[in-house]
Amino acid sequence: MALQKNCSKQSAHRQQNMKPDQKARDGADALQQELLRMVARRRETATEPQRYGASFFFEVRSGWEVRALADDPSVRQAFTPTGLEDAFHDKSVRTILIPCDASISRTIAMRICTRHGEGKTVFFEIEQEDYQP
């Protein structure tokens, strides 16, 4: 019984000591997320892009990099051809992500990129087993 009380006291003391550390981690979380997005973008753009019209077209593998890009508020996700057209017409959008579960084929994405003169960066996600660098 005494051992149980001592363990619960230690546990309470540990939790009390962890609170400031948790606050510091929460404050750094925004910076960590921004760094994660930058690293993901850097890794995904390390390969030579395909040029369609004025746009840069990258085929990217499913993974943490794509999840980081999807969480980026400056990246527009397009799930349909109409959504991709809307993203090209929106002047504030510079980067577009087409997830692998979108109803847009690679051919349709390339045609839409070619048709628009506005230069955008387009990431086309493909499944891990379909990827060929």
CA angle 74, 56, 58 (to 5 degrees): 85
pLDDT, tens digit (0-9, with 9 covering 90-100), for 16-59:
444 444 444 455 577 777 777 778 777 777 778 889 888 999 99
Query: Across 39-81, where does the E strand assignment appear?
Result: 50-52, 55-61, 75-77
With residue 37 as reference, give the H or E element that holds it: helix 2-44
CB burial of 16-50 (b: ≥16 within 10 Å; e: otherwise) equals eeeeeeeeeeeeeeeeeeeebbeebbeebeeeeee
Domain spans of the chain, in order of start: 1-133
Q: What is the pLDDT of residue 120?
A: 92
DSSP letter (8 states) at residue 79: -
% of the chain residues with pLDDT over 70: 74
Q: What is the pLDDT of residue 15?
A: 47
Cα distances from 4 to residues 8, 9, 15, 16, 18, in angstroms, run 6, 9, 17, 18, 21
For residue 99, the SS3 value is coil
What is this structure's pTM?
Answer: 0.69
Residues facing 14 on adjacent strands: none
Q: Is residue 73 pLDDT above 60, yes or no?
A: yes
Task: Give the residue, 7 or 64, on which the prediction is more confident.
Answer: 64
User: What's the CA dihedral at 34, 40, 42, 45 to 10 degrees?
Assistant: -140
What is the residue whose two structure tokens read 């230069």?
119
Q: What is the pLDDT of residue 37?
A: 77
Question: Which region among 25-39, 73-87, 108-122 has the lowest average model confidence (pLDDT)?
Answer: 25-39
What is the residue whose two structure tokens read 């019209």?
53
Q: Is residue 98 pLDDT above 60, yes or no?
A: yes
